[in-house]
Structure 1
Amino acid sequence: MNTGVKITAFAAALAATFGTAYGVGKGVGPIGEPAKAEHSGHTAQAPATGGESAHEGHEGAGGSKGSEGSKGAASGGHAGHGQEANAPAAGGLTVSEDGYTLALGAPTTKAGKSTLKFSIKGPDGKKVTAFTKEHDKELHFVVASRDLTTYHHLHPVKAADGSWTADADLPAAGAYKVFADFKPAVAGAKNITLGADLSVPGAYTPKAMPAVKATADVDGYQVRLGGTLDPGKPGDVKLTVSKAGKPVTNLDPYLGAYGHLVAFRAGDLAYLHVHPMGSGPGPDVSFMATAPSAGTYRLFLDFQHEGKVHTAAFTVRAGS
């Protein structure tokens, strides 16, 4: 994640200070107030009602070039259903794109600790073994619950034959979705984000979306969100990290950046790439983001400090 970047369609991806927190999206008051018009892998698990406790696209903090977002499937570049005409396409909505397929080893797993197995099949039907490294990794793998209250950015391990394994700890029964964000190591290849459903059998009651709030407390840190998230046009999304009332000015680089942000659209879990703008090492980390449509989004910020990764989560609304 690097210079001016956008939320395109694993990714998301998705952070720094605002002197004053201003509205996120059209028709939305200051962050932390209800909208008026419409009103480690690291993990984040939000409460059912307000209180945030907890990323992409993936991009370096003053390092690597940002990856391009996935094109809209069979759209010829036009906006998809429910998407603003000028907005980049959202990703992770299909299991296959441009001949590449996310092949999940099994569609179900158990609650608690388990190992997820998957591969990326190429246009020839064989497992892909060569990827272009982006943000320090050949492939980024994210698991999120359908209600967006649980989030894991995992670090899978690839075998020589192109098989991947990732250790996950899913807290409870329910519906989940996995995302693979990668770029094949072939000429002219673009970044692709694929998504597949994963379920954990058992009694399941979806949690309510956490309330819109300008701050998130996680592991003794406070992260403040400010900026704008507007449908169809880029806007600044900034976050500020502090601890014990003091700004954190020595964030560690993590995946080539000082902050890693992933955003999802509520409802269909469209995965949005968000790229940082080279800020850091804190307390501010800033991103350029474009929402593909109006709606509610969940943003997950990963940041590392003193060798440990933390995840802060936010609910925001874009548009009226």
Structure 2
Amino acid sequence: MNTGVKITAFAAALAATFGTAYGVGTGVGPVDEPAKAAHGEHASAAKPDGATADGTQADGTQADGADGHAGHEEGAANAPAAGGLQVSEGGYTLAMETPKPDRGKSTLTFSIKDAGGKKVTAYTTEHGKELHFIVASRDLTVYRHLHPVRAADGTWSTPVDLPAAGGYKAFADFKPAGKNAKGVTLGVDLSVPGAYAPQPLPAAGRTATVDGYQVTLGGTLDPGKAGELKLTVSKGGKPVDDLEPYLGAYGHLVALRDGDLAYLHVHPNEGGPGPDVSFTATAPSAGAYRLFLDFQHGGKVRTAAFTVHAGQPTAGADEASHDAGGHTHG
């Protein structure tokens, strides 16, 4: 288990304005084409999804943050580049072969290609896997932590169950093989055809309930400033002090920023096996975030989800959120 691991902060690049078929909080509309993801060579030059090379939207308007001044400015000066905002970075591209999966159960197929267009077949194993794959709905109500299988030619595939039509985003988190290789997180848009009825972002709260387990979130998520997030797991009013290792750790945390779905994925600070799992976190900007904690107990992995607002104490929120079946593992 890694100790003292800090969350990789994000640059404050904001989301582009999505059409009615994809926009968070927009009206009902049909979905039949995936949104176009931005391409870029370096994370430091990350552009909002849908922005062109000069920082404008498809309709000619200026994308938020494209002029070098992000809309979320608080803490931006202290935040490195965002993760998952680009389909290409550092000479690697996430090539999705199934950008329009069917509603319900289907199979996702993709590859990571190098600068020459060749499928990558050599990776560095981290936390028990060569590659971690996350799929989330644009409204952040559906979350999938999947474990795809790689074929000899470099093609990855994984079953997935996407319960509703609409826009989704897939993230590939990996480290290529090589002594000086660095970790890369790439993101690409997906769409499930059909009538789209986006859900509002779940209310902020300090407790989440899943399969009879209650997880309490304490601490604050601060823009541009490191702070501790402590998650405490209990069941039936009793602390769970025998959490089981999952991918080499007692907990995994993924955070997605509302709007552009900027991504971060970390592992806990020293401790365990429960009931507390803590993370040192730095938010890239003010705003709303959705946190997904994976933990294993009784041989099964479960996910507790929270909405937090960077800069506001999580312990001060009284609302409790309940798992709605949107968070699974593959």
TM-score (norm 2): 0.75
Distance 1:203 1:71 in 2: 36
1:165 to 150, 153, 157: 157
Q: Deviations over 1:44-88 (max 9, x none)?
A: xxxx9xxxxxxxxxxxxxxxxxxxxx973337xxx8734510123
Relative to structure 1, is the Cα distance of residues 9 and 117 closer, same or farther in structure 2, using a 3 angstrom cutoff? farther
Other-structure match for 1:58: none
Other-structure match for 1:38: none
Asked if 1:72 is matched to 2:43, the reply is yes
Residue identity (%): 72
Asked if 1:134 is matched to 2:105, the reply is no
Whether the 8 Å CA contact 2:242–2:297 is kept in 1: the answer is: yes
Amino acid at match of 1:153: H
Pairwise mapping of residues 1-320 of structure 1 onto structure 2 (< 5 A)? Answer: 2-8=2-8, 72-74=43-45, 81=70, 82=72, 84-319=76-311
Amino acid at match of 1:221: Y
Other-structure match for 1:24: none
Q: Could you tell me how far 1:272 is from its partner in structure 2? A: 1.4
Q: Could you tell me how far 1:3 is from its partner in structure 2? A: 2.1
Whether the 8 Å CA contact 1:9–1:92 is kept in 2: the answer is: no
Whether the 8 Å CA contact 2:249–2:267 is kept in 1: the answer is: no
SS at match of 1:2: coil
SS at match of 1:203: strand
Whether the 8 Å CA contact 1:9–1:273 is kept in 2: the answer is: no
Distance 1:9 1:101 in 2: 21
Whether the 8 Å CA contact 1:113–1:169 is kept in 2: the answer is: yes
Q: Could you tell me how far 1:242 is from its partner in structure 2? A: 0.3
Aligned-pair Cα RMSD in Å: 1.9
Q: Deviations over 1:163-221 (max 9, x none)?
A: 00011000110100000000000231111000000000000111000001100000000
> For structure 1, which runs of at least 5 residues remain unmatched after alignment?
11-47, 49-69
Q: Deviations over 1:115-169 (max 9, x none)?
A: 0000000122100000000111000000000000000000000001100001100
Q: Deviations over 1:262-297 (max 9, x none)?
A: 000000000013331022100000001111111100
Q: Could you tell me how far 1:90 is from its partner in structure 2? A: 1.7
Q: Deviations over 1:200-257 (max 9, x none)?
A: 0000111000001100000000000001110111100110000000000110100110
Amino acid at match of 1:86: N
Distance 2:106 2:9 in 1: 28
SS at match of 2:77: coil
Q: Could you tell me how far 1:319 is from its partner in structure 2? A: 3.0
Amino acid at match of 2:228: D
> For structure 2, which runs of at least 5 residues remain unmatched after alignment?
11-24, 26-40, 47-67, 313-330
Relative to structure 1, is the Cα distance of residues 74 and 5 closer, same or farther in structure 2, using a 3 angstrom cutoff? same
Whether the 8 Å CA contact 1:73–1:97 is kept in 2: the answer is: no
Q: State the 4+ residue runs in structure 1 displaced beyond 4 angstroms.
A: none
Distance 2:6 2:257 in 1: 15
- Of structures 1 and 2, the one with the larger relative CO (CA 8 A, separation 6+) is 1
Q: Could you tell me how far 1:106 is from its partner in structure 2? A: 2.2
SS at match of 1:85: helix
Distance 2:9 2:192 in 1: 26
Whether the 8 Å CA contact 1:263–1:300 is kept in 2: the answer is: yes
Whether the 8 Å CA contact 1:262–1:299 is kept in 2: the answer is: yes
- Which has the larger Rg? 2
Other-structure match for 2:58: none
Q: Deviations over 1:97-128 (max 9, x none)?
A: 00100000021011110000000001221000
